Amino acid sequence: MSVSRRSSPFAPKSRHHLAQLMAYLGSDVDDYKANGQKRVEALRLFCSHHPEQELKYLGSYSRGVKELGEKIDIYRFECPLCEATGIRSTTSILPDFLIPYKHYSANEIESVILESEDGISVSQIDTSASESTVHRWLGEYISAMKQWVNTLRIKVYEQMQRSISEIVLAELSLTAQLHTVLDLLPKIKYSGNILGRALIRLPELIPIRRQNRPP
């Protein structure tokens, strides 16, 4: 799996680049706990700054899935060449039933979006998340999903030489639009939710977090 992201050659070398990528690593938490590590080990991951350099296993950290009250191990990799130049670049591989930088799963967030699209008010949506969190998700993901649809339409045209009518898409909900464009791309394995499926296809749109390295 090789993913390219542009970064400034003038970025300060005291920075730590924290990237996250999505992959199918299990259909749910139980499957991931049983089989996720061997699926991660089967991946070949390459540095976005040094495309011919394969990433090396670094370790793991624990991450919660809030609505389930579960914790799982997330596996991290690093680039030896980046480290040698003073820029530590680590990449975490997330199962696609999670969402980068979110405590809740992709399944929970997608369920909220679907209920909202069905006209259910925020106060009546079936979720353990607070109303303020639901409002934040809807604002964030309505905007993000529009960008995902547009980016995927470009991929469909470049890879499949097919165009998708804006008039047809305009009649669909955002989740239906995502299904429509994703179904035109080659099949991939995914855990079942549309958000994770989209982010497997769109690694370039997952934000990279940067922080100062400790002394």
Residue 7 in domain: no
Residue 35 in domain: yes
| CA 67/CA 28 separation, integer angstroms | 13
Q: State which residues form the domain around 67.
A: 15-212
Interval 165-193 mean pLDDT:
96
Q: Is the pLDDT of residue 124 over 90?
A: yes
pLDDT for residue 192:
95
Q: Measuring CA to CA, which residue among 75, 87, 99, 56 is closest to residue 205?
A: 99
Do 22 and 200 meet the contact criterion of CB atoms below 8 Å apart? Answer: yes
pLDDT for residue 208:
72
Q: Is the pLDDT of residue 46 over 80?
A: yes
Stronger pLDDT, 145 or 48, i.e. the higher one = 145
Residue 6 in domain: no
Tell me how many helices (H) and strands (E) the chain has: 7, 5
Q: pLDDT for 57-98, tens place per residue?
A: 999 999 999 999 999 999 999 999 988 887 888 999 999 999
Interval 141-156 mean pLDDT:
96
| CA 43/CA 179 separation, integer angstroms | 26
**Could you tell me which residues are beta bridge partners of residue 113?**
none
The pTM assigned to this predicted structure is 0.86
Interval 149-171 mean pLDDT:
95
Residue 101 in domain: yes
Neighbours of 19 (CB within 10 A): 22
pLDDT for residue 210:
62
pLDDT for residue 214:
38
| CA 57/CA 41 separation, integer angstroms | 9
Question: Total domain count for the chain?
Answer: 1
φ and ψ of 2, to 5 deg: -120, 130
Q: How high does pLDDT run on average in the chain?
A: 89
| Residue type (1 letter), 196 | G
Residue 3 in domain: no
Q: Is the pLDDT of residue 215 over 70?
A: no
Residue 91 in domain: yes
Residue 1 in domain: no
| Residue type (1 letter), 189 | K
pLDDT for residue 211:
55
Residue 155 in domain: yes
